[in-house]
Amino acid sequence: MGWNDKLCAVSVGGIRKALPVPIERLDYDSLDITDNEITVFNPLVAGVGGYMYELEMNLSSANYPINRAERGAVTSDIELNIVLNNDSKELREELFRVARNTCVWFVEKSDKTWICLGLHDGLRLGDGNEAGTGVTKTDPNGHSLTFVGQEISAVPNVDEDVVDALTITPSSPSA
């Protein structure tokens, strides 16, 4: 098959959005992957998926290098780093819930394509996370979190309709 890097000379890094869905909320019987793209994946209960995080460009990243173990197993070792420039009481409470769960993360890359991290085994909160107000006015006031996991299959792309089906839309406050 091969690959010609000269065909895709413009490559832009970074991620734009992240959607964590607790692994127990996903209906794996509905999962359909065609040509390494998730085309169907539903929540177990309609309307119960996860909340979308809009990420500041140039701060968050997803890494999923392919590694081969000494005995021959090949894995994607996944690390998702998200930075949220917010420290509201609602966000702190929500992040605590996400941290308690093993989540499958749907991530929009800067080129507006979606990928799925932790499809079969999920990602868990790792070490070295930061949160706080900072000291000076130019310091961050928010959260920096790392989620880690390992998969035995290639990281798949995700059809945008799947992301839409798994996104919980926050209800508007009553006037």
User: What's the confidence (pLDDT) of residue 127?
Assistant: 81
Domain range annotation of the chain: 12-80+102-144
Q: What whole-number distance in Å separates Cα of residue 29 and Cα of residue 44?
A: 9
User: What's the confidence (pLDDT) of residue 32?
Assistant: 97
User: What's the confidence (pLDDT) of residue 175?
Assistant: 42
Asked whether the CA dihedral 70, 73, 74, 80 is positive or negative, the reply is negative
Is the pTM higher than 0.85? The answer reads yes
Tokens of 98: 């996400």
The answer for residues whose C-beta is within 8 angstroms of residue 2's C-beta and 6 or more apart is none
* Segment 69-78, tens digit of pLDDT: 888 899 999 9
User: What's the confidence (pLDDT) of residue 173?
Assistant: 46
User: What's the confidence (pLDDT) of residue 56?
Assistant: 85
Q: What whole-number distance in Å separates Cα of residue 157 and Cα of residue 148?
A: 18
For the chain, which ranges sit under pLDDT 70?
1-11, 132, 139-140, 170-175
